[in-house]
Amino acid sequence: MVKLNIDIREKEVLRYLRFDPARTKLDDKIGQLVRETILLGKRRVRPRFAYQVLNILENNGRKVRVKGFIIESKNVAKILRHATAVVLFVTSIGLDLEKEIDRLFRLGEPSKAVILDAVGSEAEEALTDSLQQQLMSEYSDFKATPRFSPGYGDWDLKANKGILKLLDAKKIGVKVSPALMLLPQKTVTGVWGLSRGK
């Protein structure tokens, strides 16, 4: 079973909040507020994920075909050119954290709300990193390619529909809106490749 370790890095949270290491001065009060909010965020993160490891059946430089799914993107095809298999995945930190953000705005604590939003983004990123790390430790003969997600480059957002269906993401409470928006908001779908090598 995959057991995930979500490491929320303060530095990354600050980066999401447009902290400029060269210029921004972090006073104690804000530093404290950020650390408190990271703790709060940790308690609201409800990690969930689904994935499938699939052999690449065809990669013609324009699309990549795996069992049950076709990735229609030149960008992805290029990244996967040396890969023999892919991991299609969805990860999400759940709804509780975004509910807390709404709540904080409503209760008149927007600064905390904004920090919590950044904590959520970082938690989601860390969750995906952790999933990748865990899985790759089981495929020690393989190297991971960079990750790629629908909505970037030429990979159409519509791909989300297919990925979620393939992974039966309903089960973990993830869905996509008619406008192709992932719900919960802090959700990531995507792919990375497995290539033989060092």
Using the minimum distance from each CB to other proteins, give the nearer residue, 70 or 107. 107
The yes or no reply on residue 75 touching other proteins (CB under 8 A) is no
- Quick check: 174 and 48 in contact, CB under 8 A? yes
Rg (C-alpha) for the chain, rounded Å, is: 18
Question: C-beta of 127: minimal distance to other proteins in Å?
Answer: 16
Query: Exposed, middle or buried: residue 16 (CB in 10 Å: 0-12, 13-18, 19+)?
Result: middle
Q: Is 111 in the site for other proteins (CB under 8 A)?
A: yes
CB 168 within 8 A of CB 50: yes
| Tokens, residue 183 | 């719900």
Which candidate, 183, 168, 30, 52, places its Cα nearest to that of 111?
A: 30
Closest CA to 165 of 155, 156, 174: 174
CB 34 within 8 A of CB 24: no
Residues 121 to 160 in contact with other proteins, rule: CB under 8 A: 138, 151, 157
Q: How far is CA 31 from the centre of its chain?
A: 26
40 vs 136, which CB is nearer to other proteins? 40
Which stretch, 26-34, 47-55, 69-77, 164-172, contacts other proteins (CB under 8 A)?
A: 26-34
The encoded tokens of residue 149 equal 């997600």
Number of residues that bind other proteins (CB under 8 A): 42
Residue 3 Cβ, how far from other proteins at the closest point, in Å?
A: 5
Q: Minimum distance from CB of 151 to other proteins (Å)?
A: 8
- Residue 188 β-bridge partners: 91
Grouping H, G, I as helix, E, B as strand and the rest as coil, residue 157 is coil
Q: What would the x/- binding string for other proteins be over residues 34 to 73, using CB under 8 A?
A: x----xx--x------------------------------
Residue type, 107: L
Q: How far is the CB of 38 from other proteins (least distance, A)?
A: 11
What track of x and - describes contact with other proteins for positions 171 through 190 (by CB under 8 A)? ------xxxxx-x-x-----
* Residues forming the site for other proteins (CB under 8 A): 1-3, 14, 17-20, 23-25, 27, 29-30, 33-34, 39-40, 43, 96, 101, 103, 105, 107-111, 113-115, 117, 138, 151, 157, 177-181, 183, 185
